[in-house]
Amino acid sequence: MNTCFATSWATCAQRHSYTLVLVLAGLGGACTGNIADPIPAPGAVDQNDTSGASLGGTGSGCREGVVVPGPSPVRRLTIHEYNNTVRDLLGDATSPANAFPEEERGLGFTNNANAQSTSGLLIEAYEASAADLATAATSSLSKLMSCDPVAQGDACVRSFLTSFGLKAYRRPLETDEVDRLFSFYSTNQQAYDTPTAVRMTVQAVLESPYFMYRVETSGSGDVSQLSGYEIASRLSYLLWSSMPDATLFDAAASGKLQTAPGIAEQARRMFADPRASRAIETLFSEWLGTDGKTQKDQALFPKFTPAIQGLLRQESTLFVDDLVFHGGGLQALLLGGYTFLNKPLASFYGVAGPMGDAFEKVALGPGKRAGVLTQAGLLATYAKVNQTSPVARGHFVRDSLLCDPPPPPPPNIPALPPPDPSLTTRERLAQHRSNAACAGCHTLMDPIGFGFEHFDAEGLWRDQEAGKAIDATGEIVKTSDANGTFDGALELAGRLSKSAQVEGCAVKQAFRFAYGRGESDVDRCTLERLGSAFAKSGGDFAALIIELTQTDAFLYRSNEVSK
Amino acid sequence: MKSLRLSRRALLRGAGGISLALPALDAMRPARAAGSTAPKRLVVFYTPNGTNADVLAGNAADFWPAQVGASFTLGKEVAPLEPLRKQLLVVSGVDGVSTQADDSYMNPDPTVVNHGDLHSIGMSQMLTGVSYLFDAKTGLIPGALPGGYAGGISVDQYVAKKVGAATRFPSLEFGVMNTTDHGVLPFSRMISAGPNQPIPAEQDPAAMFKRIFGNGTPAAATSIDHALVQRASILDFVQGDFARLEPRLGVSDRQKLDAHLSQVRELETRLQKPVVGPTASCDTSHGLASAGDPLDVVNFPATGKNHMDLLVLALKCDVTRVASLQWSWARSNIVHAWAGASQGHHDMSHFGSTPQLTAVNNWYAQQLAYLGQALLATPDVDGKSVLDNTVIYWASEVGWAYTHSFKNLRAFLLGSCGGALKTGVHLDVGGVPHQGLLVTLLKAMGLTDNQFGNPKYGTGPLPGVLA
């Protein structure tokens, strides 16, 4: 076996086998070179070169050139990705996947490959969607096809299958694939007519695993490099939640996606494109739960209508878009002194603001609100129907921002005292800390959640509860570097903003979204690389997203034994 | 029965060489004579958050009858079932022993950081009898809360595999708002085809109606239904794509695509089956009343009613013999305002016994009674009622919700499933793992299996419940 421990995967591949770029720790051998060196085409590689030098090393424990991509499970298009893909492929903006059963989530994300299950219901929905899309797309053949299949016959159809197939399968079709599709077309053309046969062929393509799944089959061996087209799809679904565009296909075809810098260049181009907000919004809303919904007691909170909930979601989306695409990063996420409001939302918050339905960037006054943690949408989501929930809010911070989910509640929970309107929420939760059986876990959550007590169950500011002044003091315990006391949400957010644990957690969440799976021990070096780039950038999400395209997990894939 | 159906359908050869049977017209099929054997059916009827009957406060009789035997009294939570007492079998003493063992506090394992939320554990074990999937080290398959999807096939899907070939749909899953406030999580799903293969329910009754009756509408007996033939051709082609791709994939990717392929195959088979079943007399002309957006909580009761009406129609028309109706999700916190509640269902369950919570659980009992009575009023081909030939298992993921107890799990069964089960009685089996209840359902459905789920938790049906 050809082993290689390169300081760059590109050079390593250059000097060694294209298909065995790979490389597992401890096998010996090394390569050195410039990371920008291109990987040669397979034929140009010296298959017999098994030379190697001594191991590289950075002192971090993550050896240069040791490629460990971690698992690469096949990923099916999510509802969001399917809708975007058919919009980009066919110009169909009907969002047909909204009729699919909603995805089972893993680690909070809808794109977790391990949580993707198949059911009869789903397959029937795929079929119905493909039929509708194909019918709509073939209602005007001249729009879909650049030639006339009736007048120009088989040559036209073959050329259509080649160009449409490339876009739909996100790679060039093999000759026998074109033949097979053409034969399917021909049979149906003879049985019915040309438009029917085109429609049936388009529908078959849309029901194919090559369309529904992001299929990666390049290479062999334990670890392999991806083809340019496979990289193109990884880029487009990471950055746009959709298929590659023409530029990206061209980059794949011309070999520009065979080097890490070439990939980074495309990633930067794509990040600057408005389509990047599709992915960013999904990452943040599923990470933070701002896509959640909640019910409130309408007698207590008549202002909290479904319409307001929709606007609150928009507020968080616009805020995140701004700090990701216009700078601000993690610091702004936690401490940004601005938000986005329109007239109905300003009125909900009870502040002066824009006079129309359009959202505008608004500076927040000092002392009460800053950052996403103080946005009412998030605060209301992590609250009960009729009262706040320091437990749920503390659990959210612990789970989503510190990546340290507390254990679930035990069985046989001792009786809680009946709700007493003369007590504050904080007072009623006192038993969580006085009872040793509860305290073990609740000290991880409640004292963090108390920091939000100035915000009621719908996320609006309050100075009193049950006739008593709000006490929003709290404490973070059992973290690597965020421990300490605070008074109120802004001091809490301030502590979190200085924490490397929070920074590392943001990296993990981005990893989960980008690679469609949970991290594990084998991903340590990928996480280290991402973490160091994110830290160096001062918590800039743009830097993190680009770096996500430079890791082993992105540039390579693991093959399972069965190949 | 089989020969009758075969003799009535025309075998046609469509484009692409696909054999396709035309769906038989209802009119082509004579109604079966009274006295024929009726099919057995299994229905899982799920409502969340267990019972409010507070053992400690002494109001257990709100849910569990104080008396065993035939002279039992139905308490406040379950009183709506009174008109169905002759069809009702109440079994107390069914314990989630294996479920309890999944909990980290009962079964501390130093290598495992977080076990699942108890509702999640209960939901995944309820119909499968096996532990949920969890890998604390790799974070494989967890939801937003710790805890993975179910670790095995659910009892209804197991039955569907055995009896499903007789009908167009092996099973039908109905659901009323099963997505949690944070998306689909492990406690959203109670049905599974196997380990980590959760199956979603259709939440929109109108879509379900279309799914059952709207597609594959019988064509004129003498003409080829081109739409069906074309669908079959396409599905056949797509199966070829899967077959070509799969050898190039690794094991787990191949399993994933194989699950997809087998559903495509099943769909193609489904197209060839009659729209209504072989035993049916079926009138679908009434359709369904509009119930508004099925995902808006204000339409929750109307959506549920539409689902139940459709479920009755599906059983009557013999389009399936296995069905489930899942109301909301485990740990659901929706506000049942129509039942007089102002607080979330799950929140209330932790406040102890409150009249509001009793009212919500009573409302769910009313829904079960509605379904049971509708099936009781539906004549079956053997002259009895459809309910007589059905067993409805009213399930919940926990026993007493207040403590998340897995002791005394809800085990209310409606219908004798063709005389297989005792009814009109409250039996106390005195602490039997819930796998026994799942085996009981298999036996009621006429299967011979003597074990289901984790074999560690015993064999055989619940003692004394089979007639």
Distance from the Cα of A415 to chain B's closest Cα (Å) equals 8
Q: Work out the pLDDT band at B311, boundaries 50, 70, 90.
A: very high
Beta-carbon separation of B406 and A213 below 8 A? no
Task: Give me B306's structure tokens.
Answer: 């539409």
pLDDT in tens, A150-204: 999 899 999 999 999 999 999 999 999 999 999 999 999 999 999 999 999 999 9
Sign of the Cα pseudo-torsion (B72, B73, B78, B81, in order) = positive
CA distance B448 to B465: 16
pLDDT of A35 above 50: no
Terminal C-alpha separation, chain B: 27
Q: Mean pLDDT lowest for which of A331-335, B260-264, B271-275?
A: B271-275
pLDDT of A419 above 80: no
Q: Which of A248, A283, A84 is nearest to A171 (CA)?
A: A248
Q: What is the CA angle A333-A338-A341, rounded to 5?
A: 110
Neighbours of B433 (CB within 10 A): 23
Given A118, A124, A385, which is nearest B347 (Cβ)? A385
Length of chain B: 467
Given A118, A200, A410, which is nearest B260 (Cβ)? A118
Q: Tell me what the mean pLDDT of segment B319-336 comes to.
A: 96
CB B318 within 8 A of CB B277: yes
Q: Work out the pLDDT band at B224, boundaries 50, 70, 90.
A: low
Give how far Cα A26 sits from Cα of A7, A66, A462, A558, Å.
15, 9, 60, 17
Minimal-distance CA residue of chain A relative to B260: A118
Given A120, A203, A562, which is nearest B267 (Cβ)? A120
Given A116, A289, A560, which is nearest B251 (Cβ)? A560
Distance from the Cα of B29 to chain A's closest Cα (Å) equals 27
pLDDT in tens, B160-178: 999 999 999 999 999 999 9
Q: What is the CA angle A326-A330-A384, rounded to 5?
A: 115
Q: Which residues contact A103 (CB under 8 A, 6 or more apart)?
A: A78, A79, A110, A111, A115, A116, B183, B184
Task: Give me B398's structure tokens.
Answer: 């926990």
Q: Which residues contact B165 (CB under 8 A, 6 or more apart)?
A: none
Chain A contacts of B186, Cβ < 8 Å? 104
Angle between helices A276-288 and A500-515 (to 10 degrees): 120
Distance from the Cα of A499 to chain B's closest Cα (Å) equals 23
- Residues 130 to 149 of B: which have CB under 8 A from any A CB? 137-147, 149
Q: Which of B93, B44, B126, B122 is nearest to B445 (CA)?
A: B44
CA distance B451 to B458: 7
pLDDT in tens, B375-402: 999 999 999 999 999 999 999 999 888 7
Question: Counting beta carbons within 10 angstroms of the beta carbon of residue A91, is it exposed (0 to 12), middle (13 to 18) or buried (19 or more)?
Answer: exposed
Q: Which of A477, A480, A479, A475 is nearest to A492 (CA)?
A: A475
H-assigned helices in A326-430: 329-335, 343-349, 376-381, 390-396, 425-428
- Higher-confidence residue: A33 or A115? A115
Interior/surface letters B228-257, b for 16+ CB within 10 angstroms, e for the rest: bbbbbbbbbbbbebbeebeeebbeebbebb
Give Cα A104 to chain centroid, integer Å. 15
pTM for the model stands at: 0.89
Strands of A153-310 (E only): list them. 213-214, 223-225
Minimal-distance CA residue of chain A relative to B169: A120
Q: Mean pLDDT lowest for which of A241-245, A484-488, B93-97, B214-218?
A: B214-218
Note the pLDDT of residue B215: 53
Q: Which of A76, A17, A21 is nearest to A46 (CA)?
A: A17
Beta-carbon separation of B403 and A210 below 8 A? no
CA distance A262 to A235: 12
pLDDT in tens, A423-446: 999 998 887 888 877 888 899 999
- Higher-confidence residue: A11 or B237? B237
Q: Which of A542, A511, A548 is nearest to A328 (CA)?
A: A542
- Residues 436 to 495 of A: which have CB under 8 A from any B CB? none
Q: Could you give phi then psi for residue A524, rounded to 5 degrees?
A: -55, -45
B161 in A contact zone (CB under 8 Å)? no
Chain A contacts of B111, Cβ < 8 Å? none
pLDDT of B10 above 60: no
Given A105, A114, A298, which is nearest B184 (Cβ)? A105
Chain B contacts of A107, Cβ < 8 Å? 139, 142-144
Interface test with B, best of A110, A121, A215, A402 (most B CBs within 10 A): A121
Beta-carbon separation of A127 and B144 below 8 A? no
- Higher-confidence residue: A562 or B92? B92
A104 in B contact zone (CB under 8 Å)? yes
CA distance B350 to A436: 19
Task: Give me B93's structure tokens.
Answer: 């003493």
Distance from the Cα of A538 to chain B's closest Cα (Å) equals 28
CB A558 within 8 A of CB A69: yes
pLDDT of A413 above 50: yes
Beta-carbon separation of A217 and B256 below 8 A? no
Question: Counting beta carbons within 10 angstroms of the beta carbon of residue A26, is it exposed (0 to 12), middle (13 to 18) or buried (19 or more)?
Answer: exposed
Q: Mean pLDDT lowest for which of A67-71, B9-13, B104-108?
A: B9-13
Beta-carbon separation of A209 and B147 below 8 A? no
Q: Mean pLDDT lowest for which of A127-141, A152-166, A319-333, B218-232?
A: B218-232
Note the pLDDT of residue B52: 81
Beta-carbon separation of A188 and B16 below 8 A? yes
Note the pLDDT of residue A436: 79
Beta-carbon separation of B266 and A120 below 8 A? yes
pLDDT in tens, A207-221: 999 999 999 998 877
Q: Work out the pLDDT band at A308, boundaries 50, 70, 90.
A: very high
Q: Which of B117, B96, B114 is nearest to B400 (CA)?
A: B96
Task: Count the alpha carbons within 13 Å of B121 in the hemisphere toward its beta carbon.
Answer: 27
Tell me the average pLDDT of chain B.
85
Question: Counting beta carbons within 10 angstroms of the beta carbon of residue B10, is it exposed (0 to 12), middle (13 to 18) or buried (19 or more)?
Answer: exposed
Distance from the Cα of A56 to chain B's closest Cα (Å) equals 28
B242 in A contact zone (CB under 8 Å)? yes
Task: Give me A126's structure tokens.
Answer: 């795929």
Given A102, A299, A407, which is nearest B183 (Cβ)? A102
User: In the 3-class helix/strand/coil scheme, how is B251-316 assigned residue by residue?
Assistant: HHHHHHHHHHHHHHHHHHHHHCCCCCCCCCCCCCCCCCCCCCCCCCHHHHHHHHHHHHHHHHHHHH
A220 in B contact zone (CB under 8 Å)? no
Distance from the Cα of A117 to chain B's closest Cα (Å) equals 5
Hey, what amino acid is at A102?
A: E
A176 in B contact zone (CB under 8 Å)? no
Pairing status of strand B172-176 against strand B88-95: unpaired
- Residues 30 to 89 of B: which have CB under 8 A from any A CB? 56
Minimal-distance CA residue of chain A relative to B245: A209
Distance from the Cα of B40 to chain A's closest Cα (Å) equals 22
Here the ipTM equals 0.89
Beta-carbon separation of A204 and B196 below 8 A? no
CA distance A237 to A220: 24
* Block residue for tokens 């496979």: A230
B117 in A contact zone (CB under 8 Å)? yes
Neighbours of A518 (CB within 10 A): 23
CA distance B379 to A516: 51
Give how far Cα A329 sits from Cα of A264, A285, A297, A314, A333, Å.
20, 15, 35, 19, 6
Angle between helices A175-191 and A194-206 (to 10 degrees): 140
A295 in B contact zone (CB under 8 Å)? yes
Q: Could you give phi then psi for residue B165, rounded to 5 degrees?
A: -65, -20
Note the pLDDT of residue A111: 95
Residue A522's SS3 state is: helix
Strands of A413-483 (E only): list them. 464-465, 468-469, 473-476
Q: Work out the pLDDT band at B6, boundaries 50, 70, 90.
A: very low
Q: Which residues contact B240 (CB under 8 A, 6 or more apart)?
A: A180
CB B109 within 8 A of CB B414: no
Q: What is the percent of chain A with per-residue pLDDT over 90, rounded to a whole number?
A: 75
Given A112, A293, A411, which is nearest B404 (Cβ)? A411
- Residues 355 to 414 of B: which have CB under 8 A from any A CB? 402-406
Chain A contacts of B169, Cβ < 8 Å? 120
CA distance B361 to B355: 10
pLDDT of B113 above 50: no
Neighbours of B286 (CB within 10 A): 8
Note the pLDDT of residue A25: 28
Beta-carbon separation of B263 and A386 below 8 A? no
- Residues 301 to 330 of A: which have CB under 8 A from any B CB? 306
Q: Work out the pLDDT band at B332, boundaries 50, 70, 90.
A: very high
Q: Work out the pLDDT band at B20, boundaries 50, 70, 90.
A: very low
Note the pLDDT of residue A52: 27
CA distance A347 to A351: 6
Chain A contacts of B404, Cβ < 8 Å? 409, 411-413
Note the pLDDT of residue B445: 98
Give Cα A354 to chain centroid, integer Å. 32
Sign of the Cα pseudo-torsion (B413, B418, B421, B425, in order) = positive
Chain B contacts of A386, Cβ < 8 Å? 342-343
Interior/surface letters B163-201, b for 16+ CB within 10 angstroms, e for the rest: bbebbbbbbbbbbbbbbbbbbbbbbbbbbbbbbbbbbbb
Beta-carbon separation of B352 and A106 below 8 A? no
CB B227 within 8 A of CB A196: no
Distance from the Cα of A1 to chain B's closest Cα (Å) equals 20
